Chains A and B, each alone.
Chain A
Amino acid sequence: MSIVDAPIGATAAVVLPGESRRARFWRRFKRQRAAMVAAGFLIVVALAAIFAPLIAPKDPIEQSLSDSFANPSSDYWLGADRLGRDTLSRLIYGARYSLLAAAQAVAVAVVLGVPLGLLAGFARGWFDSVASLVADAVLSIPAIILALAIVGVLGPNLTNAMIAIGIVYAPRLFRVVRGAAISVREETYIDAARASGVGTLRIARGHVLPNVMSPLIVQISLALGFAVLAEAAVSFLGLGVQPPDASWGVMLGQATAQLEDHPVLVLAPGIAIVLTVLAFNVLGDGLNDSLGREIREA
Chain B
Amino acid sequence: MLRLAARRLLKVVPLLLLVSVIAFGLLSMVPGDPAVQIAGEFATEEQIAEVRSDLGLDRPWIVQYGDWLGNAIQGDLGTSPFSGVSVSTQIWQRLPTTLSLLGWALALSVLIGIPAGTIAGWRQGSVVDRVLTMGTSVGVAIPVFVSALVLALVVGLKLSWLPATGYVGFSESPVDWARHLFLPAVALALTGAAEIARQTRAGIIQVKNEDYVRTAKASGLMTRQVLGRHTLKNAMIPVVTVVGLQISRLFGLSVLVEQIFNIPGIGSRLVTAVFENDVPYIQGTVLLVGIAIVAVNVAVDVSYGYFNPRVRAA
DSSP majority for the B interface?
Answer: helix
Q: Contacting chain A: which of B71-79, B169-177, B229-237, B287-295?
A: B287-295
**Which residues of B are found within 8 Å of A238, using beta-carbon distances?**
275
Is the CB of B146 closer than 8 A to any CB of chain A?
Answer: yes
List, in ascending order, chain A residues with CB within 8 A of B137's CB.
1, 278, 281-282
The contact of A273 among B146, B253, B277, by CB within 8 Å, is B146
B26 touches A137 (CB 8 A): no
Residue A217 lies at the interface, judged by CB distance under 8 Å to chain B: no
Partner of A233, one of B149, B256, B286: B256
Taking a contact as CB atoms closer than 8 A, the residue among B29, B143, B270, B290 that contacts A148 in the complex is B270
- Chain B residue with minimal CB distance to A151? B274
- In contact, A140 and B153 (Cβ under 8 angstroms): no
Interface segment, one of A19-27, A54-62, A252-260: A252-260
Question: In this assembly, does B2 line the interface, its C-beta being within 8 Å of a C-beta of chain A?
Answer: no
The yes or no answer to A274 lying at the interface (CB within 8 A) is: yes
A-contacting residues, B265-294, CB 8 Å: 267, 270-271, 273-275, 277-279, 282-283, 285-286, 289-290, 293-294
B252 at interface (Cβ–Cβ under 8 A)?
A: yes
| A220: Cβ under 8 A from any B Cβ | no
Size of interface on A: residues with Cβ below 8 Å to B: 45
Set of chain A residues within 8 Å of B22, measured between Cβ atoms: 137-138, 141, 146
Residue of B30, B145, B248 near A252 (CB, 8 A) is: B145
Q: Does B138 contact A (CB under 8 A)?
A: yes
Residues on the B chain within 8 Å of A151, using CB: 274
Instruction: Knowing A4-B201, A149-B26, A153-B27 are in contact, say whether A140-B19 is a contact too (CB < 8 A).
Output: yes
Chain A residue with the shortest CB-CB distance to B242: A3
- A156 interface contact, C-beta 8 A: yes
Can you name the residue of chain B whose Cβ is closest to the Cβ of A261? B157
Q: Which of A6, A140, A236 has the most CB of B within 10 A?
A: A140
Whether B153 lies near A154 (C-beta < 8 A) is: no
B202 interface contact, C-beta 8 A: yes
Q: Is the CB of A136 within 8 A of B15?
A: yes
Q: Give every chain A residue within 8 A of B142 (Cβ-Cβ).
A: 274
Inter-chain contacts of A155 with B (CB < 8 A): 31, 277
Give the distance in Å from the alpha carbon of A157 to the alpha carbon of B42 in the complex.
21
Q: Tell me the minimal C-beta distance from B29 to chain A in angstroms.
A: 5
Chain A residues with CB under 8 Å of B29's CB are 150, 153-154
Judge whether B248 and A142 touch: CB under 8 Å.
Answer: yes
5 sampled A-B residue pairs with Cβ under 8 A: A145-B289, A146-B22, A149-B274, A152-B277, A273-B146
Q: A137-B22, A151-B274, A233-B145 are in contact. List 15 more A-B contacts (CB 8 A).
A: A136-B18, A140-B290, A140-B293, A141-B289, A142-B249, A144-B252, A148-B282, A152-B279, A154-B30, A156-B274, A233-B256, A238-B275, A266-B150, A270-B143, A278-B141
- Chain A residues with CB under 8 Å of chain B are 1, 3-4, 6, 133-134, 136-138, 140-146, 148-156, 229, 232-233, 236-239, 252, 256, 259-260, 263, 266, 270, 273-274, 277-278, 281-282
What 7 A-B pairs come out closest when comparing CB atoms? A142-B252, A137-B18, A152-B274, A144-B252, A278-B141, A141-B290, A270-B146
> Which B residues have a C-beta under 8 Å from some C-beta of A?
14-15, 18-19, 21-22, 26-27, 29-31, 133, 136-138, 140-143, 145-146, 149-150, 152-153, 157, 198-199, 201-202, 205, 248-249, 251-253, 255-256, 259-260, 267, 270-271, 273-275, 277-279, 282-283, 285-286, 289-290, 293-294, 297
